[in-house]
Amino acid sequence: MANRKQTLPPSTNYSRTSDERPAKRAKVDDINQASTSSVEPLNGTEDSNGAIQLSEDEEGLEEEVGPVQSNNEPRASDLYLDTINRALLDFDFEKVCSVSMSDINIYGCLVCGKYFQGRGRNSYAYAHSIHDDHHVFINLETTKVYVLPDGYLVSDPSLEDISFVLNPSFTKVSTSNLSSPSHLLKPSYDLSSKPYLPGYVGLNNIKRNDHMNVIIHSLLHIPPLRDYLLLSSFRGKESELLKRFAALAKKIWNPRLFKSQVSPHEFLQEVNRASVGKFRLEQQGDPVEFLGWLLNRLHKDMGGTKRKNSSIIFSTFQGELRAETQHVVVRPDSTGSEKPQFDIDRDIKATVSPFLFLAVDLPPPPLFQDTVEKNIIPQVSIHSVLAKYDGITTQESAGQLRRYKCQRLPQYIILHYKRFTKNAFVEEKNPTIVTFPLRGVDFREYLDAPPTHPPTVYDLIANVTHESVAGTTRDKENTIWKAHLRAAGGGGEGEKWFQIQDLIVEEMRKEMIFLGETVLQVRYPYILEYRILTYLRIRYGSDVPRTPTPRVTRQGKWTLIDSEEV
C-alpha cells in the first residue's frame, strides 16, 4: 500500500501537547554554548571591567530579534511567566539602565527587578536574558511585556497587576471616593497581606529628605491638586518634574501596591536637577523653603502666568494681601507712653500683592525660665499670632510702620509659623507652642471684605511639626519632621488623624496634634466640606459620579453647581 501524506483541513485547530512542544530553554542553552565558545563584544568595545560599551548609533535602538509575534499563534507564551518574582519588583527608582546609566528605552526585568536598555540583539536586556537566564521584561514607558531573547510580545491577564503598579490609573469616580468617609473602611493589602490605607503610606527617607517628605504628603492631600495629578496623563511636552510628581501621587494613592510604602527617589532626583542642587537628598533643609520653590515651579510648568487662577496652584493657594506703610511717627497714647502710630493726616502707601502662604510671627521666648509652667514652655493661641493681619496691629522695621490685612482669601490657606531665625552666629529655634482648634478658625477678622462675602471659617487638613533636642538652637543633625493628616471626611467622635514620619504611619489622637512645634498648616473652608457632603448624600447617595464645585451667585449666596454644567 502506498504511503499517503496526511493533511489537516484548514479549519482544524491543531495544538501540540506539552511533551511535543519545542523546548525553549534548549534554544537558550544552545545560545549560551555558542556565546561561551567565542566571546565577542556586542558590536562595541569592552572596558577594563569587561562591561559592554555600545556605540552611539546603537545605544537605545529597538533592533528586533525577529518580527514581534503575538500569543495568538500556537506558542507556549506562558513558559517563563512562572519565573516572575513580584517581591523583587520596585518601580520607584529612577528609570536608568543599570549598566550604561542611560534613560532611553528602558526595560525592567520581571525576574530580578533590574533595569536594562533596549531589547534588540545588541542591547543589555538581550545579553541579560542569555547570561542570567531571565526572560520576561516590561517596557517601563508602554508597560508592554516581552520575552527575550525570542522577542515576542506577551499579553496575559495575570500581568495586569504589574502594569497597574508601574502606571496606576484613576477615574473621576475613584478620585471622588478618596474624600469620602467610606475610604477609611476599605483598607488595601500588599503582597505580604499587610493592610494599608491608600494615601496614608510611608515615604522612604533615603538620606535626609524627611523635610521634603512632609511637604509631599501635605500637598497630595489637597483634593483639587491631588485630583488634578491623579487624573492626568502627561504624554506631551510637560516638564519632567510635573510628570514625576504626578507619578508619585498615583503611587501614594495606589490601592494595589506590592509594598505598603513608596520611595520618592525618582521625583527627588528631578528636584535636585531642577533646583540646581539647592534641594538634595543628603542635605537637611527647610520644608517651608522647599514648599515655596515647589509651588512656584509647578505653577510655571503648568503654563501658569501672573494672572489670577492661571493654574491649579494659583486657583487653590493664591490669595491677596494689602500692606500699608508709613514713616514712623512717635506719639504718646492715653497712658502717656510713646509708641509708633499711623497718622491719618499723612500719606499712607498701600500695595496689594498676591501670596501663596501667610507668614505668622511667634512671640520671643522668655530669657529666663522659672517654675511657672507657661514660662517653661510658652504657649500662645492662634488668634493672638494672626492679629498681625487684622489691619490694626502695626509692625516697625527699618524706619517704616506697617500693617496688613487680607484682601482675598484662597480656597486652601497655608500658614507658616516662623519658628527659625538666623543671627550672626547660629540659627535659633523658637519653642513656643501655638494652640489651635482643628475646626472652626474664623478669618473674617483678618479679611477686608463686604458682608456678602462667603463664610471664612477654615478647618485643619494637614499639619507639619518639628522635633529636635531641647534648647533654643536649631540642631539639623537630630531633626525629625512629622506630618499630621486628617483622614477623609467625617468629624466629631469618628474623626481620624494619622501621623506619618518617614516609613512610620500610625493613628493619633486629635487632642495631641497641637502639642508639637508646628511649622506649617494647611486649612480649607468649612463651608466647602459641609455643602459638598450634603449635596452628595442628597443627590447621589454612595455613588458619586463627579465632584460638584461650589460657586457664589450674583446675590452673594452660596450654591453648588456641577462642574459639567459650568
**Closest C-alpha among 225, 220, 222, 215 to residue 253:** 220
Distance, CA of 551 to CA of 243 (rounded, Å): 30
Cβ atoms of 500 and 483 within 8 Å: the answer is yes
Closest to 483 measured CA to CA, from 508, 458, 459: 508
Query: Residue 213: enclosing H or E segment and its boundaries?
Result: helix 210-219
Question: Computed over its alpha carbons, how large is the radius of gyration of the chain?
Answer: 30
Check: CB of residue 294 under 8 Å from CB of residue 285: no
Q: Find the farthest-apart pair of alpha carbons in the chain and give their distance in angstroms, rounded.
A: 134
State how far the alpha carbon of 497 is from the alpha carbons of 91, 218, 311, 401, 507, in Å: 29, 13, 30, 41, 6
C-alpha cell at 44: 562595541
Copy the grid coordinates of residue 115. 533595569
Give the angle subtended at the CA of 383 by the CAs of 379 and 384, to the nearest 5°.
55
CA angle 151, 156, 157 (to 5 degrees): 155
The answer to whether 348 and 324 have CB atoms below 8 angstroms apart is yes
**CA dist., res. 81 & res. 152, Å (int):** 13
For residue 202, the model assigns a pLDDT of 93
What cell numbers appear for 385 in the block?
499670632
Distance CA 261, CA 502 (A): 9
Q: What is the 3-state secondary structure (H, E, C) of 157-184?
A: HHHHHHHHHHCCCCCHHHHHHCCCHHHH
CB atoms within 10 A of CB 364: 12
For residue 505, the one-letter residue type is: V
User: DSSP states of 112-139 as a string?
Assistant: T--EEE--STTSHHHHHHHHS---EEEE
- How many whole angstroms separate alpha carbon 23 and alpha carbon 126? 19
pLDDT at 294: 96
478, 469, 474, 361: which is closest to 423 by C-alpha? 474
**Which of 290, 179, 205, 200 is CA-nearest to residue 500?**
200
d(CA 119, CA 129) in angstroms, rounded, equals: 10
- Residue whose grid cell is 471616593: 177
Judging by DSSP bridges, how do beta strands 261-262 and 202-203 pair with one another?
parallel
Position 203 scores a pLDDT of 94
- The sign of the CA dihedral 9, 10, 13, 16 is positive
Dihedral over Cα of 7, 13, 16, 22: its sign: positive
pLDDT at 339: 64
Q: CATH 3.30.40.10 occupies which residues in the chain?
A: 24-37+50-164
Question: What would be the CATH architecture of the domain defined by 301-533?
Answer: Alpha-Beta Complex (3.90)
Calculate the dihedral angle through the C-alpha atoms of 128, 131, 134, 135, rounding to the nearest 10 degrees: 80
> Other CB atoms closer than 10 Å to residue 229's CB: what's the count?
24
Q: Where in the chain is CATH 3.90.70.10?
A: 301-533
What is the helix, strand, coil percentage profile of the chain, to 5? 25, 25, 50
Report the amino acid identity of residue 113.
Answer: G
Residues 6+ apart with CB under 8 A from 244: 266, 267, 270
Q: Given its phi and psi angles, is residue 399 left (phi above 0), alpha (psi -120 to 50 degrees) or beta?
A: left
Locate the DSSP E strands across 328-456. 330-332, 338-340, 349-355, 358-361, 379-381, 395-397, 400-408, 413-418, 420-422, 427-429, 433-435, 441-442
Q: Over the chain (566 residues), what is each successive 10-residue block's mean pLDDT? A: 42 40 40 41 44 43 46 58 92 90 93 93 93 94 92 90 93 86 82 92 90 95 94 84 94 94 93 93 90 95 89 94 83 61 72 93 76 68 93 82 91 93 80 90 88 81 85 68 82 78 91 89 73 46 41 35 31
CB 218 within 8 Å of CB 522: yes
Q: How far apart are CA 490 and CA 530, in angstroms?
A: 10
What CA–CA distance (Å, rounded) separates 63 from 243?
Answer: 28
Q: Which three cell numbers stand for residue 479?
A: 531633626
C-beta separation of 486 from 374 below 8 A: no
Domain covering 24-37+50-164: architecture? 2-Layer Sandwich (3.30)
**How many residues appear in the chain?**
566
Bridge partners for 508 per DSSP: 497
What span, in angstroms and rounded, lies between the C-alpha atoms of 350 and 348? 6
